[in-house]
């Protein structure tokens, strides 16, 4: 079913780099391949040479440095990130995001790097990494460079990566003190793809509850994960209240530029952004250590839904 190709499975990064630089446009990298093989089966992608980097163990690691920065090898599986104790403790948003990606079988085989390079606009890791201000290390025989996750995906299924380059590492800076982050996706069924998603990272002032910094990333509402910069402006420098979050949600909703498709209309997706920003913001603030939260989330209108209500 899949068009024939030549396969190689180099054991080291250097070998892999030299192979893909040799193959140029005819070559393609495969990691877990869970996205690529679907495209190849439908003949949307038909490389002459497939370079399988899945076995390069030097790109499979999770390190947290002494200063608290997180480095993840591009071939680290989703499942490894999800189940890493250190990540659960220090980058909870990442493990929470991972545990709701597809099925455990997919997470056992698929890698974070492969996911980012596929650049599906409904992908979960991108918005989270954008909110965390993560950068990517990219290597080729020509040298190395880094790029912000935010600037990596350029369009749906299209990333800032030359034919001879390999994404090798995801670098997540240590969050400042009093930073809290949260990610939520909305899907009709549990664990399914997002109709809209929001990741937010909030940093509060050391002495007050003023918001020193915030990064809001939206998923599934544009061709790539996007920053909601205007919504961030609404919050920065202020003490965040319910009303302010509501406003940020509205502004973010305006920034979102979703498509309407069979899964949901554009208007509905915008509506979801509004709600998610508000909800995610509250949780992120709690995690940042805002201990007195005035806004009460459960607005009671006094009505109790009962069968047979007249």
Q: Is residue 102 close enough to count as binding other proteins by CB under 8 A?
A: yes
Nearer to other proteins (CB atom), residue 64 or residue 280: 280
**Is-contact 242 295, C-beta < 8 A?**
yes
Judge whether 245 and 278 are in contact, CB under 8 Å: yes
Kindly state whether residue 109 participates in binding other proteins, applying the rule CB under 8 A.
Answer: yes
User: How far, rounded to the nearest angstrom, does the alpha carbon of residue 138 sit from its chain's CA centroid?
Assistant: 18
Question: Exposed/middle/buried for 307, CB within 10 Å: 0-12, 13-18, 19+?
Answer: exposed
245 touches other proteins by CB under 8 A: no
Q: Which is nearer to other proteins, 190 or 243 (CB)?
A: 190
The answer to the question of residue 4 lying near other proteins (CB under 8 A) is yes
Binding flag, residue 183, other proteins (CB under 8 A): no
Strands, E, within the chain: which ranges?
6-8, 27-30, 49-52, 62-64, 70-73, 135-140, 143-148, 153-155, 158-159, 166-172, 179-186, 196-204, 211-219, 226-227
- For the chain, how big is the Rg over CA atoms in Å? 21
Q: Which is nearer to other proteins, 207 or 310 (CB)?
A: 310
- b (16+ CB within 10 A) / e for 126-157: bbbbbbbbbbbbbbbeeeeeeeebbebbeeeb
CB 128 within 8 A of CB 92: no
Distance in angstroms (rounded) separating the CA atoms of residues 285 and 241: 10
Question: According to CB under 8 A, which one of 207, 243, 296, 308 is a site residue for other proteins?
Answer: 308
CB of 95 to other proteins, least distance (A): 13
7 binds other proteins (CB under 8 A): yes
CB of 135 to other proteins, least distance (A): 29
Site for other proteins contains 186 (CB under 8 A):
yes
Minimum distance from residue 62 beta carbon to other proteins (Å): 17
| Residue 39 touching other proteins (CB under 8 A) | no
> CB-wise, 127 or 249, nearer to other proteins?
249
Question: Using CB under 8 A, which of 11, 24, 38, 233 touches other proteins?
Answer: 38
Region for 157 from its dihedrals, namely left if φ exceeds 0, alpha if ψ lies in -120 to 50, beta otherwise: left
Q: Which residue number, 184 or 203, has a Cβ lying nearer to other proteins?
A: 184
Report d(CA 172, CA 4) in Å as an integer: 38
* Residue 9 interacts with other proteins (CB under 8 A): yes or no: yes
Judged by beta carbon, residue 77 or residue 179, the one nearer other proteins is 77
From candidates 18, 21, 88, 106, binder to other proteins by CB under 8 A = 106
Cα–chain center distance at 301: 36
The residues binding other proteins (CB under 8 A) are 1-7, 9, 30, 32-34, 37-38, 40-41, 50, 52, 54-55, 79, 99, 102-106, 108-109, 186, 188-193, 262-265, 268, 271-272, 275, 298, 300, 303-310
């Amino acid at each position: 079913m899949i068009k024939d190709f030549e396969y190689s499975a180099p054991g080291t990064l250097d070998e892999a780099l030299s192979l893909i630089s040799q193959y140029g446009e005819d070559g393609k990298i495969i990691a877990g391949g869970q996205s690529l093989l679907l495209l190849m089966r439908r003949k949307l992608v038909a490389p002459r040479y497939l370079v399988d980097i899945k076995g390069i163990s030097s790109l499979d690691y999770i390190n947290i440095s002494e200063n608290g920065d997180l480095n993840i090898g591009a071939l680290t599986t989703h499942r490894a990130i999800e189940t890493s104790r250190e990540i659960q403790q220090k980058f909870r948003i990442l493990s929470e995001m991972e545990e709701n990606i597809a099925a455990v079988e997919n997470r056992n085989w698929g890698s974070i790097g492969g996911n980012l390079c596929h650049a599906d606009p409904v992908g979960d890791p991108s918005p989270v990494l954008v909110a965390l201000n993560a950068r990517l290390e990219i290597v080729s025989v020509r040298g190395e460079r880094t790029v912000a996750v935010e600037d990596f995906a350029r369009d749906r299924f299209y990333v800032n990566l030359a034919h001879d380059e390999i994404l090798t590492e995801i670098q997540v800076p240590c969050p400042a003190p009093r930073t809290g982050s949260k990610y939520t996706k909305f899907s009709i069924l549990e664990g399914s793809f997002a109709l809209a998603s929001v990741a937010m990272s909030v940093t509060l002032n050391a002495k007050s509850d003023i918001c020193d910094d915030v990064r809001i990333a939206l998923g599934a509402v544009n061709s790539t994960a996007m920053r909601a910069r205007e919504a961030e402006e609404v919050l920065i420098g202020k003490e965040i209240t319910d009303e302010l979050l509501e406003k940020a949600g509205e502004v973010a909703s305006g920034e979102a530029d979703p498509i309407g498709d069979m899964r949901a209309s554009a208007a509905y997706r915008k509506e979801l952004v509004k709600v998610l920003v508000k909800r995610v913001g509250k949780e992120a603030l709690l995690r940042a250590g805002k201990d007195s939260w005035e806004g009460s989330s459960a607005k009671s209108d006094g009505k109790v839904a009962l069968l047979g209500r007249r």
